Amino acid sequence: MPNGDASLTDKIDVTVPSVARMYDYLLDGKDNYPADRSATEELLLTVPSMKVLALNNRQFLRRVVRVLAEEYGIKQFVDHGSGLPTQDNVHEIAQRVHPDARVVYTDIDPIVLAHGRALLEQNENTAVLQADFRDTKSIWESPEVKRLINPDEPVAALFVSVLHCIKDADAPDAVIQRVRDRLRPGSFLVVCQLVSEDPDVRRQVTEFMAQETGDHWGQVRRESDVAHYLRGTELLEPGLVEVSTWQQNSDLALEQPSYEWIEFGGVGRIV
């Protein structure tokens, strides 16, 4: 491990691919290991569009945070499944607009905590928490959230490219609704996940990822599932879309090589 907290490294099994490190490899990061790289290369043989999809997903996240901070005055973010630090993390974007913006990063993977502490906890307004986003209470009642997030002000709760990491048995809809119940009107839910309308693609990718990650993965779903998670919210324009097209203006989106599976979602305002 190039950097990081030595006390956490013994919790990290680098022989089993991790979603966080595979995603880091797709984003050209350096916090990944041979097992992550070979699983990702194998995945790319089945679904070559994965790399562009990951890069476009990260651009979507950057645009959303900028728009929420600039146009809706959002200064508080809770990022569920934040992934390893990369270029332009949520707090960097938000604090460019509001220097006092506050961000709590959470991820289940200990590597995020190990690497993230140095790069994500850059000031008193950011914190990194190792937590499972299925456990809403442990995140929202954590000392980090209590210290940084004021429940009387609007918050953006981010679930960007993470819900496909949990299974239907883990009730992703209930996870979203529990978080929503904790947020005051004017807050936002940001949700996107891998979807496909082709049952064969859904099955193949789900099986491949379950096998590679020792069953630490969820499932590819359908567009209608994402719509269900955000029901009753006011969707910001242009609604629910393939994420590279969400409020796409100045950023250069890479062209999706194929649409057999896509990252699909949007931003819902709680009314």
For ligand SAM, the binding residues (CB under 6 A) are: 19-20, 23, 57-58, 61, 81-83, 107-109, 112, 132-134, 160-162, 165-166
Give the rounded distance of the alpha carbon of 217 from its chain centre: 14
**Is 204 in a helix, a strand, or coil?**
helix
CA distance 259 to 257: 7
Residues 6+ away with beta carbon under 8 Å from 258: 48, 49
Kindly tell me which of 46 and 150 has the beta carbon lying closer to ligand SAM: 46
Least distance (Å) between residue 102 CB and ligand SAM: 18
Kindly tell me which of 3 and 150 has the beta carbon lying closer to ligand SAM: 3
Kindly tell me which of 44 and 100 has the beta carbon lying closer to ligand SAM: 44
Residues 6+ away with beta carbon under 8 Å from 170: 134, 218
Question: Cβ distance 61 to 158 under 8 Å?
Answer: yes
Q: Write the Ramachandran bin of 193: left for phi over 0, alpha for psi from -120 to 50, otherwise beta.
A: beta
Kindly tell me which of 100 and 119 has the beta carbon lying closer to ligand SAM: 119
Least distance (Å) between residue 153 CB and ligand SAM: 23
Least distance (Å) between residue 57 CB and ligand SAM: 5
Least distance (Å) between residue 38 CB and ligand SAM: 18
